[in-house]
Amino acid sequence: MTGLARVPAAFEPAGKRPRRSGKFALRFWSVRHARLLERVYAMFERALIGSAPLLKRIGFERLEKPVAAVERVTKGALFDCRMCGQCVLSSTGMSCPMNCPKNLRNGPCGGVRANGNCEVYPEMPCVWVEAWKGSQRLRHGTRAMAQIQPPIDHRLKGRSSWLVIARGEHSSNTSRLS
Amino acid sequence: MNVIAMHSPDVEEDPSAPLPELPGHSSRGRLERVLRRGEFAVTAELNPPDSADPQEVYDRVAVFEGWVDGINATDGSGANCHMSSVAICALLTRIGYSPVLQISCRDYNRIAIQGNVLGAAALGVCNVLCLTGDGVQAGDHPDAKPVFDLDSISLLSVIKRMRDEQRFLSGRKITSPPRLFLGAAENPFAPPYDFRPLRLAKKIAAGAQFIQTQYCFDVPLLREFMTKVRDMGLDQQCFILVGVGPLPSARTARWMRANVPGVHIPDSVITRLEGAENQRLEGKRLCIDIIQELREIPGISGIHLMAYRQEELVAEIVHESGVLNGRQPWRRGTTLKSAVGE
């Protein structure tokens, strides 16, 4: 496929290429170490909730930009995070669903190739094949994968999911972690 | 039945009128009735014309008449542009056919989709198939913007909400809800295989009442899938129609598995076609053989025939496979009573 034929998905930042499984990418490492990351995130989440009064004193709106910037860099490196602002990583085996060119948040489409690669980007392993592998390493991974995710709220794009947790506004519909 | 028809025997009853309500039914359509009666149902896929002439739709659909219980009007399948599914369904309901509206998340956002659902229901559409849709790279407009605002599962939940709670996704009230029989697709033949039954469960939880699967050319793989489905009790919660179709030749089969997203064709199928003197005939025989095997698998409620550019074979396949068990699906001229079978 030529470069021209590639259409960026809604959440695909310019210059970001689909990941090949053969090349080292932290995204695949994260899925392989989903259990470890789940533990780290659980601790981090407790810390976030614990520091909520302090964050509130500083002002959540004032923190939005710097925290989102840190989140973008950290999660960008670990998960190729697209900053949808409503993170569901722990429901998707630590494989970011916004890397799916169809932005599917509830499971794979019917077009997954026999080798487990993406229909749209033949060189990239399907985000949901990875998600299924990752979920099997989590404590309640299968149950989390069975949760129905609501349609995405496009207003939250670019905003920090961490501050959502700190504010205690994470909806019961989406998963708790990250 | 409208008032004029009841009073004047000379005036034919209105074929586009919805059927009388039945308790426990979500729609007033024929497909739901056939399935709920426990019949082995047959649906077929209509290849939509690249034309603005309604006659082309009627010509294409004529070959299905009296052989199928529902006709799927595809929605830009393979990301190729054709006459819209809503329009085809509206044309078909006018003369009494039972169309299945396909909605693909690729092309519309939630505002357009919900508007279309209300419009289609107003035009007499009783069945909707909720799809994610093939990527734009697969079709004739790879330069198009892929929308994917919803996914097939959130789409199901949105339409279920419109029907059951009489509300848009926004929460705003709908005065008269769309009476729809909700369907979804499943592909048991694509990875991650272990997740597929769970995904089916998700679709049912989101609102799916019937399922039409991708082409089945690998019966053992389907059997494995169905075993898991039955273990989870999913076959009791929805009607599963398995996708089948005749392959015209080994060459086409090779092309399809390389180029049509989600189609899995085992080598044994291609070898069988290659070894045949008349590949087209062998393709039809293979399709009938697969249907016979499917009928023996518990939990399968029917078949979905996709005979792309070989639509004329649908009647032969249905007839020769005997799937209808002597039942006669609706055709023009059958009265309301005989069509409903009550």
Spatial distance between the Cα atoms of A143 and A145, rounded to a whole number of angstroms: 5
Eight-state DSSP code of residue B323: T
Q: Which amino acid is at B239?
A: F
Spatial distance between the Cα atoms of B221 and B195, rounded to a whole number of angstroms: 14
Beta-carbon contacts of residue B209 (< 8 Å; ≥ 6 apart)? B26, B32, B181, B182, B183, B238, B239
In a domain, A76, yes or no: yes
Cβ(A90)–Cβ(A176) under 8 Å?
A: yes
pLDDT at position B10, please?
52
The per-residue pLDDT of chain A, averaged, comes to 87
Q: Which residue has the higher pLDDT, A113 or A5?
A: A113
What domain count does chain A have?
1
For the record, the structure tokens of A12 come out as: 């695909």
Q: Is the minimum CB–CB distance between B113 and chain A shorter than 8 Å?
A: no
Asked if the interface predicted TM-score (ipTM) of this complex is over 0.95, the answer is no
Domain that holds residue A71: 22-167
The residues that bridge with A125 in the sheet, in sequence order, are A117
pLDDT category of residue A22 using cuts at 50, 70 and 90:
confident
Cβ-nearest to B192 among A102, A108, A119: A108
The residue of chain B with its CA nearest to that of A120 is B135
Residue B58 host element (H or E): helix B54-62
Cβ(B134)–Cβ(B185) under 8 Å?
A: no
pLDDT category of residue A68 using cuts at 50, 70 and 90:
very high
The residues that bridge with A17 in the sheet, in sequence order, are none
Cβ-nearest to B201 among A6, A9, A146: A146
SS3 B240: strand
User: Please, where are the H alpha helices in B215-333?
Assistant: 219-231, 250-259, 267-274, 279-295, 313-321
For the record, the structure tokens of A17 come out as: 């290429």
SS3 B181: strand
pLDDT category of residue A172 using cuts at 50, 70 and 90:
very low
Contact pairs from chain A to chain B, CB under 8 Å: 122
Chain B partners of A126 at a C-beta cutoff of 8 Å?
191-192
Chain B partners of A103 at a C-beta cutoff of 8 Å?
148, 151
Mean pLDDT across A101-107: 94
In a domain, A156, yes or no: yes
In a domain, A74, yes or no: yes
Domains plus CATH for chain B? 32-319 (3.20.20.220)
The residues that bridge with B43 in the sheet, in sequence order, are B70, B304
In a domain, A11, yes or no: no
pLDDT at position B341, please?
46
In a domain, A16, yes or no: no
In a domain, A131, yes or no: yes
pLDDT at position A178, please?
40
pLDDT at position B15, please?
83
For the record, the structure tokens of A97 come out as: 């669903």
**Using the beta-carbon criterion (under 8 Å), do A112 and B192 form an inter-chain contact?**
yes
Q: How many CA atoms lie within 13 A of B238 on its CB side?
A: 28
Chain B partners of A5 at a C-beta cutoff of 8 Å?
137, 142
**Using the beta-carbon criterion (under 8 Å), do A129 and B154 form an inter-chain contact?**
no
Q: What is the pLDDT along chain B (342 residues), one digit of tens a residue?
A: 444 444 444 555 788 888 999 999 999 999 999 999 999 999 999 999 999 999 999 999 999 999 999 999 999 999 999 999 999 999 999 999 999 999 999 999 999 999 999 999 999 999 999 999 999 988 999 889 999 999 999 999 999 999 999 999 999 999 999 999 999 999 999 999 999 999 999 999 999 999 999 999 999 999 999 999 999 999 999 999 999 999 999 999 999 999 999 999 999 999 999 999 999 999 999 999 999 999 999 999 999 999 999 999 999 999 999 999 999 999 988 755 554 444
Q: How many CA atoms lie within 13 A of B89 on its CB side?
A: 28
In a domain, A68, yes or no: yes
In a domain, A3, yes or no: no
Q: Is the pTM of this model over 0.90?
A: yes
Residues 257-296 of B with CB under 8 A from A: 261-262, 264
Cβ(A21)–Cβ(A70) under 8 Å?
A: no
- Can you spell out the DSSP letters for B185-220? EE-TTSS-TTTHHHHHHHHHHHT--EEEEEE---HH
